[in-house]
Amino acid sequence: MVEQIAPDSVSNQDGIRAWLEGNSRHVPDKIFIESVDQEKSISHGAMSLLCRQIAHYLDSRDIKANDRVALLAGNSLEHLAVYLGVLAYGATICTINIEMNRAHFSDILKAVDARLLLYENGLNIEDWQRESAGDWLALGEWRESGGSGFFADIAGFPDDRAIPSVNTSSDIASIFYTSGTEAAPKGIVCSYAELIANVAPTSAAFGITAQDRVLDFRSYNWVSAQVLSALGPLRQGATLLLARKFSQSRYFDWLRDYGATIAAGNPTTINMLNNRPHAVTAKDLPQLRYIFSSSAPLLRKDWTAFEERYRIPIAQGFGASEMMWIAGCDEHSRRFGSVGKPLAYQNLRIVDTNGASLPVGETGAVEVGRGEGAEYRYLTPSGKITTHARGRIRTGDLGHLDGDGYLYLTGRSKEVIICGGVNISPVEIDNSVLELPGVAEAAAIGVPDDIHGEAVVVFAVRLPGTELSAEEILAHCRARLAAAKLPREIIFRESLPKTARGKMDRRALAEAWRQKS
C-alpha cells in the first residue's frame, strides 16, 4: 500500500533531488537509463553527479525558480538528463515536441519566453532562433569522459557539492504542450507539488519495483512518459530502457535482448503487432510481466487478438495532460476492458450533466479533483498563466465504475452521438462492428439528421482479401444494437485517419463526410 501524498506537501527536495541522491548512495552502479538506439547507458550514481553539474551550471547563469529552460529534442539519454537536472535544481523545464507542434512553434516560443533553449541538431529551427531573446545552445552528447555541446559546457562544474535550492513546492516545475494537431496546442502548467505527488501512486498502480526494467518509446516531451517511466523508475531505483521511437521490427528484440519486465504500448502499436505478427510468445520472454497500453481506449477485439496470439498480458492505464495519470493497473490487478482503479488522491467521480454523482454502472462524465485548493492552469499564447478550473475538473471522457471500483471508458464527451435524445457512445458502435469477421477497423461518427438531430454513420476498413458488404455489417448491427444506435450508412475506406498520438481522428472523418455530402 503506497501512501497518498497531498499535492501541496512536497517539493523537489522531497522528490527528484532526494531520489537522485538516495539512488547514488544505495545503488550507484545500477543502470538507470539504457538507451537502445544510442547503445549507451548511465548509472544512477552517474546521473546524480550529472544533475549536480547541470544545477551548478544553471546557478552560475543566475537562473532562478520559475525561470524557464526550453528543451527541444527527441528521446535520448541527454534529453532526460537535462529534464531531471533542471527539476533537481528547481527551475522550470519546458519540453516541446517540435515534430507535433511545428505549425505553432513560433507562438509557443513567444509564450514560453525561455532564458535558455537547448536544442537537438537536425530539427531545422534556425529561422526561429532569431525570434527568441533567450540563449540557444546545442544539446550535444553526453559521454562518460567529456562530451559535446551543452555537456561539454557543464563538464567543468562541480559534481561533489550539494545542489543549490531555489524553489518551493508551489513553483512551476514543468510546462509542456499537447499535440495540437487539430487546434492550437495547450501549454499545461504543472507545479513541483503536483508533479511529484503523481509519481508514487502511479508507480504503485502499475506495480513498478526496483527490480523492473521498463521499456518505453513514447515521447518524453509529454508528462505521461515523464511520470510513469522516467520519474517512476528514478523513485523506485529501477531501470528505464529508452527507445527513440517505436519499431515494429525491433520491438520484440528489445524486449528479449534488454530483459524488459514492463513495456509501453498503445492501441496503434498493438494493432501493428497484430497485423504483422511475429513468431514470439510469452514463453520466449519469461522476464516480461506485461505490456501497458495508454493514450486511447484499447478496443476489446484488438486486446483479445493480441493476447490470444502472443500470450502476453496487456494492462491499460488512463491519464490526461492537465491531471497526469488518473488510473492504472498491472498484470495482477488488471480487468479486461478496464483502465484500472483510479488513483485515490485524484478523487474520481462519474457525474451527470448537472455534476451529480452517478451510481455504479451508470455512464457519465469522468471528473477528478485533488481538493479545493487544486488549480488546473494553462500558459496562454500571450505568455500569461491562467486558471482553467479549480477544485474539480472533467477530463472530457465518458465512463463508468463497476462495483469493485474499476474504471471503464466508453468514449469522449465531445464525440457522443445524440440520436432522438439517446446518448450513444461511438466506441460501443465500433466494438459491435469489429466483432464481425472481415472488419479490420471501424469508427462511428454522428452526422446531422433532420428528424432525430443526429444519425450514426460508420467508416470501416475491410481485411485484405474479404468482400464484406455494407448490408452484412448492417445486418450484424441489427442483431446487437438498439434501433437508435443502428448505423444509417456504412462507408468503406482503405484506411482510417489517426491523430499524432495514435487516436482515431473522428473529426477528420466528420469533415470527410461533410465534403462527401
* Neighbouring C-alpha atoms within 13 Å toward the C-beta of 391: 2
Say which residues have a Cβ less than 8 Å from residue 119's Cβ, sequence separation at least 6.
72, 73, 125, 136, 137, 138, 139
473 domain-assigned: yes
Distance CA 90, CA 101 (A): 26
Query: Under DSSP, is residue 200 helix (H, G, I), strand (E, B) or coil?
Result: helix
- Distance between CA 360 and CA 52 in Å, rounded? 49
Where the chain has pLDDT below 50, the residues are: 1-10, 180-182
* C-alpha to C-alpha distance for 59 and 151, rounded to whole angstroms: 16
431 with 342, same domain: the answer is no
Residue 32 lies in a domain: no
Which among 82, 81, 11 is positioned nearest to 47, based on CA atoms?
Answer: 81
Q: Looking at 133, 164, 199, which one is the last position of a domain?
A: 199
Q: Rounded to two decimals, what is the model's pTM?
A: 0.84
Three-class DSSP category at 482: coil
50 in helix, strand or coil?
Answer: helix
Same domain, yes or no: 22 and 171: yes
Alpha helix ranges (H) inside 145-191? 150-153
Distance CA 97, CA 103 (A): 11
In this structure, are 253 and 348 located in the same domain? yes
234 lies in some domain: no
Torsion of the alpha carbons at 444, 102, 73 and 233, rounded to the nearest 10: -30
In a domain, 44, yes or no: yes
CA contacts within 13 A on the Cβ side of 21: 15
Q: Are residues 307 and 186 in the same domain?
A: no
Indicate which CATH number applies to the domain containing 445: 3.30.300.30
Q: Decide if 232 is inside a domain.
A: no
> Is there a contact between 315 and 329 (Cβ–Cβ < 8 Å)?
yes
pLDDT value for 87 = 97
Contacts of 505 (CB under 8 A, 6+ apart): 182, 496, 497, 498, 499
d(CA 237, CA 27): 7
State the pLDDT at residue 13: 59
- Within this chain, do residues 399 and 440 fall inside the same structural domain, yes or no? no
Torsion sign over Cα 176, 380, 186, 411? positive
269 in the same domain as 193:
no
Q: What is the DSSP secondary structure assignment for residue 220, as one 8-state letter?
A: T
Are 110 and 171 within one domain? yes
Q: CB under 8 Å to 72, separation ≥6 — which residues?
A: 96, 98, 117, 118, 119, 120, 123, 125
Confidence (pLDDT) at 499: 77
Last residue of a domain, one of 384, 412, 440: 412
CA 336 – CA 341 distance, rounded (Å):
12
Cβ(457)–Cβ(491) below 8 Å:
yes
Q: What distance in Å separates the CA atoms of residue 431 and residue 301, rounded to the nearest whole number?
A: 7
Domain of 310: which CATH number? 3.40.50.12780
Instruction: Give the β-pairing of 341-342 and 324-328.
Output: antiparallel
Other beta carbons less than 10 A from residue 507's beta carbon: 16
Is residue 426 in a domain? yes
Note whether 363 and 342 are same-domain residues.
yes
Which is it for strands 135-138 and 116-119: parallel, antiparallel or unpaired?
parallel
What's the domain count of the chain? 3
172-177/135-138 β-pairing: unpaired
Domain check: are 282 and 404 in the same one?
yes
Is residue 47 within 8 Å of residue 33, measured between CB atoms? Answer: yes
Residue 88 and residue 163 in contact, taking contact as beta carbons nearer than 8 Å:
yes
Name the grid cell of 486: 443502428
User: Could you tell me if 43 and 184 lie in one domain?
Assistant: yes
3 state SS of 197: helix
CB 457 within 8 A of CB 426: no
Query: Residue 241 falls within a domain, yes or no?
Result: no
- What are the residues facing 491 on neighbouring strands? 459
On whether residue 303 sits in a domain, the answer given is yes
Residues 261 and 333 in one domain: yes
DSSP secondary structure letter of residue 23? H
What is the structure's pLDDT at 3? 37
| Long-range Cβ contacts of 160-165 (<8 Å, 24+ apart) | 160/52, 161/52, 161/56, 162/52, 163/17, 163/51, 163/52, 163/55, 163/56, 163/88, 163/89, 164/55, 164/56, 164/59, 164/89, 164/90, 165/13, 165/90
- Same domain? 396 vs 451: no
pLDDT at 359: 95
Q: Contact, 186 vs 25, CB < 8 A? A: no
- Domain ranges, residue 298: 246-317+327-374+392-412
* pLDDT score, position 170: 93
